[in-house]
Amino acid sequence: MRLLTFFCLLLLLASCAKNEKSADYTKEELNVTTSVYPEAINAVFEAHGGIDAWNAMNGLYFEIAKEDGNEKHYLDLKSRKSVNYYKQHVLGYDGKQVWLKKLDTTSFRSNPRFYYNLMSYFYAMPFILGDDGINYAEAPVLEADGKEYPGVLISYGDGVGESPEDEYIVYYDPETKQMTWLAYTVTFFSKEKSKKFSLIKYGDWEAIHGVVLPTTLQWHVFEDGEVGDIRNQMTFANAKLQKEAFDQSMFQVAEGAELVE
């Protein structure tokens, strides 16, 4: 009888294990990338090389072309520490504090706290929109260049980032799925939701370690949902992505720099 009881117990445990495995398998089937991200935004990630390829990288470097000398931008992709070299300033973020070092008496052109990661984030689209704390929703299509571009609206949870009230809309090519336009609001100064979107066109892509990033950005006039003329353009050069993390000392407050409140 004891032997029979023992075998019954084994059968019961095997049955439970089988059921548990089946439950885990079902859960695993649901817990794929497209359940973490909406299908549309995941398709955009895939068109740019895939979110896994992006997450495997730790360091991003790029230059912004300028007639008087290129700006040089370094971004630690995991901590978001950064340091940017301009002709007259060095602007950095050590993970806690924004700092600014003047190389002459020229005033910095913008609010350093607003600007320290701004260009890095624009450049690293769409992957920056895979961060934690982001909400996704469908947006109305954008009509431009005689074509309709589907949109994904991105908003943030409370307390996420410097400006959680910011919103973005990724407009992607319905055929290639690559991001073509980015609409965004600026709420850093008002700290309130805004209905006024600015619009950037992305183009001239290049693949770096399989990750597809832009070489040009074009800001367009954008009024009442209508796309207008180009009002500004930016060109990137000498971009690098690397799996190795940068030497973290480069992000520390530079000697002679001032902390930005």
**pLDDT tens digits, one per residue of 209-247:** 999 999 999 999 999 899 999 999 999 999 999 999 999
- Is the model's pLDDT at 199 over the cut of 50? yes
Q: End-to-end alpha-carbon separation of the chain, Å?
A: 78
Mean pLDDT of 164-172: 88
Give yes or no for residue 172 having a pLDDT over 70.
yes
Average pLDDT, the chain: 85
pLDDT value at residue 7: 38
Which domains, ranges and CATH numbers included, belong to the chain?
33-260 (2.50.20)
pLDDT at 188 > cutoff 80? no
Phi first, then psi: what are they for 221, rounded to 5°? -60, 135
Least confident of 109-113, 159-163, 183-187, 245-249: 159-163
Residue 3 is predicted with a pLDDT of 38
Determine phi and psi for 140, rounding to 5 degrees.
Answer: -60, 150
Q: How confident is the model at residue 166 (pLDDT cuts 50, 70, 90)?
A: confident
Question: Would the CA dihedral through 214, 216, 221, 227 be positive or negative?
Answer: negative
**Residues 9-49 pLDDT 10s:** 333 333 433 333 333 323 333 333 444 899 999 999 999 99
pLDDT of residue 195: 79
* Of 244 and 68, more confident: 244
Q: What pLDDT does 175 receive?
A: 96
When pLDDT is cut at 50, 70 and 90, the band that residue 91 belongs to is: very high
DSSP E strand boundaries for the chain: 59-64, 71-76, 82-85, 89-93, 98-102, 134-144, 147-156, 168-172, 179-184, 198-208, 211-223, 226-242, 258-260
Task: Look at the block and give the residue holding tokens 């995941």.
Answer: 42
pLDDT of residue 36: 82
- pTM for the model stands at 0.81
- What's the confidence (pLDDT) of residue 158? 58
